[in-house]
Amino acid sequence: MIQENIKIIIQPSKGWQPINWRELWQYRDLFYFLVWRDIKTRYAQSVLGIGWAVIQPIFSMIVFTIVFGKLARINSDGVPYAIFSYTALVPWTYFSGALSGSSSSLLSASGMMTKVYFPRLVIPISPVMSKLVDFTIAFIILLGMMAYFGFYPTMQIIYLPLLILLMMLTASGMGMWLTAMSIQYRDIKYAMGFFVQLMMYGAPVVYPASNVPEQFRLLYGCFPMAGVIEGFRSILLQTNPIPWDLIGVGSIVAMVLFISGAFYFRRMEQYFSDVA
């Protein structure tokens, strides 16, 4: 059994709760199996299976290349529009998937929550982890496309894990906020679909960040995905120097989102099984 500490005290919890790291560590096997269940069952009984992980960004790329690249002739920082948009779509697809998964996670796990105790924090975090599998596959396709278009990674690629961490942090921070709120307000559930879609235009997915007026650049960077996506382009396609300003602002916002999200989640945790 997990609880090695022999004494458990149950009391009404008031106000802000610290995160019980020790307990989270004790439940690491559960976390592992939840992530693994997510991966294993996501494309169960489908013909294309894991192929779905690349179909979404590739089809978006095709449509964007036609609509924004050819028809609207949006500036793509001097690289072919196809790879310009696909490089952004890889992190963006991850982010939107992880965020939707995370924000709906508590509602879909409510059956489990009302029947057994475990640290609830593992629920919104596990989709953030499991979507990394899709991300990896889409990223491998990206490497193939880079080779086709003649882009080769430089030493700068060592910064990439930092950006990946940043997008995970953002997805889990927002996810914790939204999923804790969705228990009480189902509006979140209905809003998430188009909200995520609209958010895409707040990040430099179909256009380059260089199109944003200079005086709004830092404000623009407050959405951490702006820094992530521009960073991906700059590291892999060498469009611009690494946008440390965007990444810096984004990191601060992401940290704030993550920490406040975790605390808000812990605070609302006591109501989950009663209100869900």
Partner 1 sequence: MSDIAIKVENLSKRYRIGLKEETKDTFVGAMGSILKSPLSNLKRLKKLTQFSNDNQDHDDIIWALKDVSFEVKRGEVIGIIGANGAGKSTLLKILAQITHPTSGRVELNGRVASLLEVGTGFHPELTGRENIYLNGTILGMTKKEIDRKLDEIIDFSGVEKFIDTPVKRYSSGMRVRLAFSVAAHLDPEILLIDEVLAVGDLEFQKKCLGKINEVSKRGRTVIFVSHNLAAIKNLCPKVIFLDRGKIIKFSNVNVAIRDYLALDKNESDNNFNDTKKGHVALNQILTIKNIYYLNNKREHVDYIVSGEKMYFDILFNIDQKLKSLDDVLFEIRIKDGIKEKLFTLSTYLTNSNYNNLMNDSSVLCEVNNFSIAPGEYHIDIICSVGKDYSDYLIDCKKINVVDGNYHNSGKKYENILYGPLLIEHNWLKE
Query: With respect to partner 1, which residue has the nearer C-beta, 44 or 155?
Result: 44
Long-range contact list for 67-72, CB < 8 A, 24+ apart? Answer: 68/206, 68/207
Contacts of 141 (CB under 8 A, 6+ apart): 54, 57, 58
User: At its nearest, how many Å lie between partner 1 and the CB of residue 245?
Assistant: 38
Query: With respect to partner 1, which residue has the nearer C-beta, 12 or 241?
Result: 12
User: At its nearest, how many Å lie between partner 1 and the CB of residue 39?
Assistant: 11
C-alpha atoms less than 13 angstroms from C-alpha of 41 in its C-beta half-sphere: 7
Query: With respect to partner 1, which residue has the nearer C-beta, 59 or 185?
Result: 185
Q: How far apart are CA 235 and CA 221, in angstroms?
A: 17
**Which residues contact partner 1 (rule: CB under 8 A)?**
1-3, 6-13, 27, 29-30, 32-34, 37, 40-41, 44-45, 111-118, 184-185, 268, 270-271, 273-275
User: At its nearest, how many Å lie between partner 1 and the CB of residue 19?
Assistant: 16
Query: With respect to partner 1, which residue has the nearer C-beta, 210 or 270?
Result: 270
User: At its nearest, how many Å lie between partner 1 and the CB of residue 270?
Assistant: 4
Query: With respect to partner 1, which residue has the nearer C-beta, 8 or 155?
Result: 8
Cα 149–217–261 angle (5° rounding)? 95
User: At its nearest, how many Å lie between partner 1 and the CB of residue 110?
Assistant: 11
Long-range contact list for 19-22, CB < 8 A, 24+ apart? Answer: 19/121, 19/262, 19/263, 19/266, 20/119
* Residues 241-261 as b or e (16 or more Cβ within 10 Å = b): ebbeebbebbbebbeebbeeb
